[in-house]
Amino acid sequence: MMWRRLPFMLVLLTGAAALLSQTSPQTSKAPAPTWGENPAAAFAEFGRVYRANCAGCHGENLEGGGGPALTPALITSRTDDQLHATIENGHPEAGMPPFKGVISDAQQWQIVNFLRSKVLISAGPPPAPVDPAGLLVRSAKQTIRLDVVAAGLDAPWGLAFLPDGRKLITERPGRLRIVDKGGRLLPDAVTGLPAPWVRQDGGYLDVAVDPDYRRDGWVYLSYSEVLPGYVVTPEEAATPGRGVKRVDPPSMTVLIRGKIDRQNRWTDSQIVFRAPASFYTREGSHYGSRFLFDGKGHLFFSLGERGDMTQAQRLDSPLGKIHRINTDGTVPADNPFVKMPGAIPTIWSYGHRNPQGMMFDPVTGLLWETEHGPIGGDEVNIIEKGHNYGWGVVSMGSQPGIDKREAPGMEPPITYYTPSIAPSGSTFYTGNRYPAWKNNLFVAGLAGQLRRIEVNGRKITAQEIVFQHLGRTRAVYTGPDGFLYVLVHRFVRPDGKTPPQGWLLRLQPER
């Protein structure tokens, strides 16, 4: 494949399933490469660096020449740090000079990322998505069949289970749907809910049911809203497109709770968290968010840094943080920054980019988290009280302005993914339907995969892709019935003719 195939590369870098991944932490004192926001342009620049320094020996397309061919097997058998060390130190005995002092360290890392991306391209385009209904999937330890619980969903984002057997599903365009006890998706959404701001990453996000729902009836919802009191202009309301410049009003993530009555109406609505007006921004990305109850009266929720990485390091900003509150929205007295002047008291951890997965390990009780990296560098972390996870200063991915992969006082990820898998919702499996998967971590990837990870304490010992190429895999949940449920959708342009292609899937074990 030629490096000039940028449209295909853009698809791979922003939406393809990851065929390459690191299965253990890759540590290095070297800075991460600096990529632009445009992955196709970045790949072209990385290709230029490779051709100027490496193609004479290894060939323009890694086919070899004076030096060996850089085959997929050779590249994937080495970690990022091993590839970088080879470039930096060379193999003088084999005729390869060291590149330390010849090209910058950032350019050496650009070559590493170029090699990873070329392997993805050599695998060819992903197959066309298939109908998930009844699909048989054979994984390493379990064979499953995909059972469609609900179809025709429009960008499903979050799922919650009511004690009476009903299920709640958020659709990002601004609907809260109900699957009734008989498994039927009700045609009408819950009424009486606030209208979200829907554009780019914004809309309805997560939904959760209070652990004491039978007693108090609370349902929690996160969504993006326009700054209260702000009047959206016609230019801001116009849908961006050909000839229409995108202009967004100031918006931010807000958390509410309410109750759903017998007529499926939202009642008794309360604000649980709303940021100060100064943090509403015209940026349309990285709203977060995910809910997690700890069973001790606390609710964790995540917020992205809204596209401004400097916010993640500021303790006077709620952005780029994982927060911990009491379920009524008040602040627990033992939060780490409660007594720090100027700090947001709800902050539990900071230095996050866009965390969209949180879950407790049922064996150790450790809080695990998944978050999106910039271009590459998606992270799986163990979250601890008051710790800094580095975004804005360090990253295993590539971001203009970040030139470090580690720094004192900043936690490295347990593992990371380059190229990106775009990790979203995650869960530890705690049921008994799939005994071989007991206590395994499952991570949904928007790049099109469901990943299973075996964990021992603080270490990842093995992982596999359970399925891929079905669509954007948004979230995975352990249901109260012991089955795993997965939200998947495909992007469909709103032409008024094509129905939404989103599914709630149940993983049915096959004997």
Type and span of the H or E element at 234: helix 234-237
SS3 427: strand
Q: Angle, to 10 degrees, between the axis of helix 105-122 and the axis of helix 80-89?
A: 130
Closest CA to 222 of 266, 173, 140, 158: 158
Strands (E), 213-250: 219-226
> Percent helix, strand and coil across the chain, each rounded to 5?
15, 35, 50
342: left (phi over 0), alpha (psi -120 to 50) or beta: left
* Longest alpha-carbon distance in the chain: 78
SS3 108: helix
Q: Which two tokens stand for residue 148?
A: 């469609």
SS3 493: coil
Q: Which two tokens stand for residue 312?
A: 């993640």
C-alpha span between 317 and 389 (Å, rounded): 15
C-alpha span between 9 and 27 (Å, rounded): 27
The strand pairing partners of 317, in sequence order, are none
Sign of CA dihedral 27, 28, 29, 35: negative
C-alpha span between 458 and 411 (Å, rounded): 13
C-alpha span between 372 and 488 (Å, rounded): 18
Count helices and strands (H / E) in the chain. Answer: 8, 24
Q: Name every residue whose Cβ is closer than 8 Å to that of residue 246 and which is 6 or more positions away in sequence.
A: 240, 284
Q: Are 13 and 6 in contact (CB under 8 A)?
A: no
Is 286 considered catalytic here? yes
Type and span of the H or E element at 216: helix 213-216
Determine which one of 84, 286, 323, 372 is catalytic: 286
Give the angle 459-507-148 at the CA atoms, nearest 5°.
140
81, 164, 410, 431, 437 from 482: Cα distances, Å? 40, 15, 37, 4, 12
End-to-end alpha carbon distance in the chain: 42
Catalytic residues: 286
